[in-house]
Amino acid sequence: MEPATSRRYVITFSCPDRTGIVARIAGFLADAGAWIVEAAYHADADQNWFFTRQVVRADSVPFDADELRGRFAEVAAEFGPEATWRVTDTGEKKRAVLLVTREPHCLHDLLGRVSAGELPVDITSVIGNHEALRDVVTAHRVPFHHVPFPGPRDERRESLKLEAFEEVRKLVDEQEPDAIVLARFMQVLPAHLCEQWRGRAINIHHSFLPSFAGARPYHQAHTRGVKLIGATCHYVTADLDAGPIIEQDVIRVDHSDTASDMVRRGRDIERLVLSRGLRWHLEDRVLVHGNKTVVLR
């Protein structure tokens, strides 16, 4: 169990920028006796938008997280209906569901990090549209659910795919996860699920977006003769591979690398980028405004 002195309340807040925001929040926290251990701010001059993340020691506040939410709601209301905010409690461990196909590298990495205590999350289940990764998942004592999807030549492909996604939705929603991670799932979520899971569905794309969106990006990159390849962790939206970007990284390649070399080397970047992006999401460091993110770390 988390020691009392390490439990935190995390407040994230964004609103149209103006003077006095920092003073108002700081005054509210001071009046509550809150001991601030982390504070980050960003003002976007182009959009005239303000962002902040405040972390306080839970044991310094003389009431629980629910009451803190109620009191902070009154502060947030002062900054207009466009303001967005959250209060989370690190004493309540976040939950995630992973969606997978056959590629094991991101799954291995996330399960290993959770097992080692490096990611603050409970993986409540893994859902795969193939059986290939069941043994990996069950070895970590995580439930695995197989939901088959139709093949490309199936005459009823579209209707069967919708039925499969409905089964996936039911399995996910009954677990009420804080994150739905497409760990190389390789299936395009229908628009209604993108909307329902907005801000929680996280994808790893094996390209430095917006370059080489869609299928086989390493092969696209090889054909183009690029000198850098990368990976992008982003929130899922109905626009394919175009959701708000959480994290990206690159690795250098050259003319001697084949497409297979790029795939192999790119997997290392995918692991790192996905684990970083997921961690920042779980730690409430990612604030979304429009189709952009601010990552306060």
pLDDT digits (tens, 9 = 90+) for 62-117: 999 999 999 999 999 999 999 999 999 999 999 999 999 999 999 999 999 999 99
Per residue in 17-72, pLDDT (tens digit) is 999 999 999 999 999 999 999 999 999 999 999 999 999 999 999 999 999 999 99
**pLDDT confidence of residue 261:** 85
Place of tokens 């677990």: 175
Mean pLDDT of 163-187: 96
Q: Mind listing the domains of the chain with CATH numbers?
A: 4-89 (3.30.70.260), 94-295 (3.40.50.170)
Q: Is residue 209 scored above 70 in pLDDT?
A: no
Q: Is residue 158 scored above 60 in pLDDT?
A: yes
Q: Is residue 210 scored above 80 in pLDDT?
A: no
Q: Is residue 233 scored above 90 in pLDDT?
A: yes
Answer whether 0.75 is exceeded by the pTM: yes
Which of 292, 288, 189, 170 lies closest to 238, judged by CA? 189
Place of tokens 């466009």: 82
**pLDDT confidence of residue 130:** 96
How deeply is 126 buried, as exposed, middle or buried, from its count of CB atoms within 10 A (0-12, 13-18, 19+)?
Answer: buried
End-to-end CA distance of the chain: 25
Dihedral sign (CA 201, 165, 193, 267): positive
The per-residue DSSP string of 124-190 comes to EEEEESSSTTHHHHHHTT--EEE-----TT-TTHHHHHHHHHHHHHHHHHTT--SEEEESS--SPPP
Mean pLDDT of 217-229: 81
What gap in Å lies between CA 91 and CA 58, rounded to an integer? 9
Q: Catalytic: which of 31, 44, 173, 241?
A: 241
**Residue 241 appears among annotated catalytic residues:** yes
